[in-house]
Amino acid sequence: MKNHKMAIDEYREQISNYAKNFAVANTSVKGFEKRKRPVNPIDMFVEGNLAKRLWKLSDQFVFMKESFEDLNEWIGEFSKAVPLEAYDTGSLDSIQFLDWMTRNKTLSAEQFDMLTCHRSRIAIENFGRENRIAHVRFQDLLSNHDRLKSELGSNDSLSLHLNPLRVWARFQTRILLDDEADLPSTMIFFAVGIDIRTAILEPTGQELVAELEVESPTRLSRLKSRLCDMDSDELGDLVREMSEIGLIAFG
């Protein structure tokens, strides 16, 4: 009789063989109880899983379809070459696909920008997963915006909080930008509720975010002393503008 460890090792090998084959739509596995069926049930299982994976990827990349003529073919090619990772939540597969395209396809500058955009959105979601409490707290602060914005000119003890879910991305083409945008252009992605917003900030805005990245929350009075190139009104307008888009919240 086999000892327990040997039996478990054999089981590990057996499951690994099934999973690794099924994950890349390979149906040539043995060991299933054969019944007379008009269709091979292993094929049905694998086809069903593959269709679900293709649908999910296709759905996540739908906004890129116009810029990628062969997107569906690429998704099909990728799905047969790269298995889904364990515990995939959807974003893992997207990242794998983005990496696969970067490695295996010749991309135009516009297509590369589309990939950068998608990577940035996924990065925001992943930060959200890692910093859920910070995200919920910040969104709660944002809900005070209307009440506190009127205090902006008069209350120097207002504290400014920087949106914790944000990521910078640099774009080389205008495919996702206005016709007048400078190139290359740096865009900030950030989360407002369940949405991901973007903004291109003027140098003063970038400076303000950089200051808040060093210290957040920061009192408005302290910020005034640190950003001495900006006068009070200019800073007030900038802070108001950035709080309205959801990049800064008052506390």
Among residues 88 and 211, whose Cβ is nearest to other proteins? 88
User: Can you read off the two tokens belonging to residue 160?
Assistant: 């400014």
Contact status, residue 124 vs residue 196, Cβ threshold 8 Å: yes
CA 40, CA 27: separation in Å to the nearest integer? 9
Which distant-in-sequence residues (6+ apart) come within 8 Å of 174 by Cβ? 181, 183
Residue 49 Cβ, how far from other proteins at the closest point, in Å? 4
User: Can you read off the two tokens belonging to residue 131?
Assistant: 């910093």
- Per CB under 8 A, residues contacting other proteins are 4, 7-8, 10-12, 14-16, 18-20, 22-23, 31-33, 35, 37-39, 41-42, 44-45, 48-50, 52-53, 83-89, 124-126, 128-129, 132, 135-136, 139, 165, 191, 193-196
Among residues 5 and 103, whose Cβ is nearest to other proteins? 5
Among residues 41 and 184, whose Cβ is nearest to other proteins? 41
Residue 117 Cβ, how far from other proteins at the closest point, in Å? 17
Residue 237 Cβ, how far from other proteins at the closest point, in Å? 28
Contact status, residue 111 vs residue 70, Cβ threshold 8 Å: no
- Residue 217 forms beta bridges with which residues? none
Among residues 32 and 63, whose Cβ is nearest to other proteins? 32
CA 118, CA 11: separation in Å to the nearest integer? 39
User: Can you read off the two tokens belonging to residue 33?
Assistant: 């109880």
Cis peptide before 217 (omega within 30 of 0): yes
Among residues 140 and 244, whose Cβ is nearest to other proteins? 140
Residue 213 Cβ, how far from other proteins at the closest point, in Å? 21
Closest CA to 188 of 136, 238, 116: 116
Residue 246 Cβ, how far from other proteins at the closest point, in Å? 12
